[in-house]
């Protein structure tokens, strides 16, 4: 069987390139060309290598080089990805390189469809690396958060994408998640409790601090956005309300009349 070092040194080209307009990759590859650029970053692959073994139960959204590594570690692994040809290339690569695939389960579906139906629990590690558009990483996290055992890990990849970075920032402020690893590409958090995904927003520090109910900065941002959207009537009435409530000593609160 290949080693982790060999996998990292020469990652398999598993992903079929689909051009995204306006990206620098658009001109680098032909549509359908197999590439390895979209693989999980080495730092996070090494995190999996260090934290997963043959007793682990793991899950990932998306698939690729990371799936090969989960198979190499002998984990009981569930991989959710809608791209069947990709899963066939992964299995073919594993077989060619002596990596057993008997503990791999593929669910060939978008994760937003598959995760709500999945009844399995007590996963040791979850990798979120499927679709990266809003709100997918949040949705993936919401479902896997409940499925992870206390003490389990979630890896969030592609922190250069605002959605992934925001999810990571939000979780790093939560008492139920402990940031245990961070690189330029991704991060890993240890689950300490089941609060976050079930809490209301005042109990989520990151959300609370950015909500105009609690934050002066958020109030200014809101007014700025009203101007940007040219909603001058709402801007004017909001400013008037702000002055009224400031006079009542409760800046930003809606005056509720006399009792
Ligand atoms: C960045 S790549 C994953 C890279 C992979 N972890 C690796 O190490 O090579 C993103 C993956 O998400 C998959 N994907 C796209 N939409 C998805 C969805 N709705 N649910 C799950 N996976 C999705 C794509 O097929 C692709 O395999």
Q: Which atom of ligand 1 is nearest to 114's Cα? A: 20
Q: What is the mean pLDDT of residues 39-66?
A: 98
Residues in the chain: 259
> Is a pLDDT exceeding 70 seen at residue 251?
no
Secondary structure letter of residue 255 according to DSSP: P
In the numeric block, which tokens belong to residue 122?
């007590």
Do 112 and 189 share a domain, yes or no? yes
Cα 186 to ligand 1 centre (Å): 15
In the numeric block, which tokens belong to residue 151?
């003490």
The whole-number pLDDT of residue 168 equals: 98
Do 164 and 231 share a domain, yes or no? no
Cα 85 to ligand 1 centre (Å): 12
Share of the chain above pLDDT 70, in %: 96
How many C-beta neighbours within 10 Å does residue 35 have?
16
pTM of the model: 0.92
Do 117 and 234 share a domain, yes or no? no
The whole-number pLDDT of residue 22 equals: 73
Beta strand 15-16 with 104-107 is unpaired
Do 118 and 161 share a domain, yes or no? yes
The 10s digit of each residue's pLDDT in 65-80 is: 999 999 999 999 999 9
The Cα–Cα gap between 212 and 222 comes to 8
> Is a pLDDT exceeding 60 seen at residue 7?
yes
In the numeric block, which tokens belong to residue 59?
């899950």
73 lines ligand 1 (CB under 6 A): no
Reduced 3-state DSSP string for 68-103: HHHHHHCCEEEEECCCHHHHHHHHHHHHHCCCCCCC
Q: How many helices (H) and strands (E) does the chain have?
A: 10, 9
Q: Which of 16, 64, 127 to mutate to test the pocket of ligand 1 (most atoms within 8 A of CB)?
A: 64
In the numeric block, which tokens belong to residue 173?
């402020």
The whole-number pLDDT of residue 253 equals: 57
**Mean pLDDT, rounded, of the chain:** 94
Q: Which atom of ligand 1 is nearest to 45's Cα? A: 8
Which has the minimum average pLDDT: 17-26, 98-107, 132-141, 162-171? Answer: 17-26
Which has the minimum average pLDDT: 21-30, 46-55, 170-179? Answer: 21-30
Looking up residue 46, the CATH number of its domain turns out to be 3.40.50.150
Do 112 and 100 share a domain, yes or no? yes
> Is a pLDDT exceeding 60 seen at residue 51?
yes
65 lines ligand 1 (CB under 6 A): yes
Do 240 and 169 share a domain, yes or no? no
Q: What is the mean pLDDT of residues 225-235?
A: 97
The Cα–Cα gap between 176 and 195 comes to 6
The 10s digit of each residue's pLDDT in 110-147 is: 999 999 999 999 999 999 999 999 999 999 999 999 99
Q: Cα angle vertex 193, ends 189, 198, to 5°?
A: 105
The whole-number pLDDT of residue 255 equals: 54
110 lines ligand 1 (CB under 6 A): yes
In the numeric block, which tokens belong to residue 56?
């682990």
Expressed as residue numbers, the domain containing 84 is: 4-11+40-208
The whole-number pLDDT of residue 254 equals: 59
Query: Three-state SS for 155?
Result: strand
């Amino acid at each position: 069987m290949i080693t982790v070092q060999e996998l990292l040194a020469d990652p398999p080209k598993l992903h079929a390139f689909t051009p995204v307009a306006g990206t620098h990759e658009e001109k680098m590859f032909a549509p359908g060309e197999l590439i390895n650029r979209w693989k999980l970053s080495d730092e996070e692959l090494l995190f999996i290598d260090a934290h997963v073994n043959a007793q682990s139960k793991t899950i990932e959204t998306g698939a690729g080089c990371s799936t090969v590594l989960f198979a190499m570690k002998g984990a009981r692994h569930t991989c959710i990805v809608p791209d069947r040809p990709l899963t066939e290339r992964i299995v073919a690569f594993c077989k060619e390189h002596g990596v057993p695939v008997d503990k791999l389960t593929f669910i060939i579906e978008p994760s937003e469809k598959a995760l709500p139906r999945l009844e399995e629990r007590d996963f040791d590690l979850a990798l979120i690396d499927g679709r990266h558009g809003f709100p997918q990483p949040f949705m993936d996290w919401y479902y896997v958060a409940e499925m992870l055992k206390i003490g389990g890990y979630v890896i969030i990849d592609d922190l250069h994408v605002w959605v992934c970075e925001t999810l990571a920032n939000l979780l790093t402020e939560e008492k139920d998640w402990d940031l245990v690893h961070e690189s330029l590409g991704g991060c890993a958090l240890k689950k300490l409790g089941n609060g976050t995904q079930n809490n209301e927003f005042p109990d989520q520090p990151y959300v609370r601090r950015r909500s105009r109910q609690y934050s002066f900065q958020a109030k200014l941002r809101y007014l700025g956005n009203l101007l940007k959207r040219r909603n001058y009537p709402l801007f004017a009435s909001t400013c008037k309300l702000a002055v009224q409530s400031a006079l009542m000593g409760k800046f930003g609160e809606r005056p509720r009349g006399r009792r």
